[in-house]
Amino acid sequence: MIVVAGSPTEGPVELLLDEAAILGLDVLLLEEERAADWQLEVEADGGAIRAHVMQQGRRVDLSAATGLYLRLTSPEVIGAPADPLREARHVAALGLLASWADVAPLRVANRPAPMSSNGSKPYQAALIRAAGFGVPETIVTSDPAEVLAFRRQHRRIVYKSISGIRSIVHELTGPRIDDLDRVRALPTQFQRLLTGVNVRVHVVGRDVHACEVSSRTIDYRYSEGEQAAQMTAVDLPDAVRERCVDLAHELELPLAGIDLLRDEDAQWWCFEVNPSPAYNCFEEPTGLPIARSLATWLAGRDAA
């Protein structure tokens, strides 16, 4: 049995459920919207930690599962906010599940504690660099003069949030330079703009799925219409492939979305590692079997 905790209509969860059904895997779904109804219990007895949940009048031993996919995205809570008690039960259930997931005796994609490395981009960048990938020259500052000096040095630079909250990557140019004084209120990360081919890599256990992303925009996640990103499945060089696996392992992320760029000199750079990737956005246009890798890994099977 594998346990899936999330919203069944959310892309990555839906894709995993479909793949698990094709593979004939037994799945226990914990719908995030209905967390208030989970009746989740966690108990510690000496060195053993067990968890149980009531499903359709049956007490299920979660600790007997082979794997847990944790994809909590805060969808609208069913029955709240009209019922404050239900909202409180919802929050408590999610917190208890996350606490258990950090120590659960099974495969987890991903445990909450390791996922926190993405909460600080500069910290994660240091881990990426230690794993052998190049990282663009970077400063984090609230000083406009320092930003302008950095821009003079590298000519073209981009900026982004330093936290785990998603932000759109923009080049610092035109009107944005005029608004630069606003960084005094919020330290911001600035990086040298790299040019080349964007490559998104998904690591699942030791499975590696990569695709090239062609886009006219700097941040391809927000390209639409005629400028929509085009994705093509590719094979990575063996050394880069192994480095991605090693990086995911070092970050303790069995499921990782790694953002790479191959520059004109064939040097590989890494921007960040997403600990809860919306992999369906890459599987659907390319046919990469990411969900199948995830389902089989959660079922306790390793790549050949």
Higher pLDDT, 81 or 143: 143
91: nearest Cα among 40, 163, 164, 49: 40
Structural contact between residues 154 and 137, judged by C-beta atoms closer than 8 angstroms: yes
Whether 234 shows a pLDDT value over 90: the answer reads yes
pLDDT 10s digits, 183-231: 999 899 999 999 999 999 999 999 999 999 988 777 777 666 556 789 9
pLDDT 10s digits, 93-108: 999 999 999 999 999 9
Q: What is the pLDDT of residue 304?
A: 46
5: nearest Cα among 50, 49, 38: 38
pLDDT confidence tier of residue 70, bands split at 50, 70 and 90: very high
**Counting beta carbons within 10 angstroms of the beta carbon of residue 77, is it exposed (0 to 12), middle (13 to 18) or buried (19 or more)?**
buried
Structural contact between residues 256 and 264, judged by C-beta atoms closer than 8 angstroms: no
Sequence letter at residue 74:
S
Structural contact between residues 89 and 38, judged by C-beta atoms closer than 8 angstroms: no
The model carries a pTM of 0.92
170: nearest Cα among 150, 156, 186, 155: 156
Tell me how many degrees the CA angle 44-45-48 measures, rounded to the nearest 5: 80
Distance in Å from the first CA to the final CA of the chain = 21
Structure tokens, 158: 């981009």
Q: What is the pLDDT of residue 83?
A: 81
Q: Which domains does the chain have, with CATH numbers?
A: 2-109 (3.40.50), 137-192 (3.30.1490.20), 195-297 (3.30.470.20)
Structural contact between residues 93 and 51, judged by C-beta atoms closer than 8 angstroms: no
Q: What is the pLDDT of residue 225?
A: 55
pLDDT, average across residues 47-64: 89
Q: How far apart are CA 128 and CA 271, in angstroms?
A: 8
Work out whether the CA dihedral 167, 172, 178, 181 comes out positive or negative: positive
Q: How far apart are CA 185 and CA 298, in angstroms?
A: 44
Q: How far apart are CA 225 and CA 233, in angstroms?
A: 21
pLDDT 10s digits, 241-294: 999 999 999 999 999 999 999 999 999 999 999 999 999 999 999 999 999 999
Q: What is the pLDDT of residue 46?
A: 80
Structure tokens, 188: 């911001």
Whether 165 shows a pLDDT value over 60: the answer reads yes
Q: How far apart are CA 23 and CA 17, in angstroms?
A: 10
